[in-house]
Amino acid sequence: MVFQIFLNSLIALLWQFLQADFTFSTFLIGYIIGIIMLFTMRRFFKGRFYLERAFSIVRLIVMFLGDVVTSSIAMSKVILAKDIDITPGIFKYRTVLESDWEVMLLTSLISLTPGTTCIEVDEDSHTFYIHCIDLSDPEEERSKIRNGFERHIVEVFRK
């Protein structure tokens, strides 16, 4: 990935020298040309194309921000309601993530989302104990984590 970014920047600089115009717009055009060139030659590089990972990171951030907004609205409704109709609880979640970075990122995203807090992580079995403010259906919460955060983290780190 670093090598691809270096090559792309080198192509952009070469484009600037060929144009004899050292402005940001010329560099940007050269960078776009470099992206196109590297994309067409991506099968010759180890790993995946670096912009795929960048798009995966952006998707993870957008999904997390959307989750924070919807969870904040749900927590506001719980706080402002006359009658509190919630079922707090703790559930166990086993993850397929392997590296410490992946596990740390998942626990951070869970804890930063309003209404959920990761209480404990069993490092040997990668099992989390998560407190949820409204745990009416534990399987639904597991599914939301598995199909949301965990899937996007796998896209960022493994593919």
Q: What are 2-57's pLDDT values in tens digits?
A: 888 898 899 999 999 998 888 999 999 999 999 999 888 888 888 788 888 889 99
Same domain, 78 and 145: yes
Q: Which residues contact 125 (CB under 8 A, 6 or more apart)?
A: 94
Same domain, 67 and 38: no
Same domain, 82 and 40: no
Same domain, 102 and 24: no
The pLDDT of residue 47 is 78
In 3-state terms, what secondary structure has residue 65? helix
The pLDDT of residue 91 is 93
In 3-state terms, what secondary structure has residue 45? coil
Distance CA 85, CA 78 (A): 8
Residue-wise pLDDT tens digits, 79-129:
898 888 888 999 999 999 988 899 999 999 999 999 999 999 887 878 999
Residue 100: Cβ within 10 Å count: 10
Structure tokens at 25: 């717009």
Domain count, the chain: 2
Same domain, 78 and 7: no
Backbone φ and ψ of 94, nearest 5°: -100, 125
Q: Examine the pLDDT at 159 and tell me if it is beyond 70.
A: no
Same domain, 80 and 121: yes
Same domain, 55 and 13: no
Q: Examine the pLDDT at 136 and tell me if it is beyond 90.
A: no
The pLDDT of residue 81 is 86
Same domain, 75 and 148: yes
Domain limits for position 11 = 2-44
Residue 110: Cβ within 10 Å count: 21
**How many helices (DSSP H) and strands (DSSP E) are in the chain?**
6, 3
Same domain, 93 and 142: yes
Same domain, 85 and 109: yes
Distance CA 42, CA 40 (A): 6
Same domain, 25 and 91: no
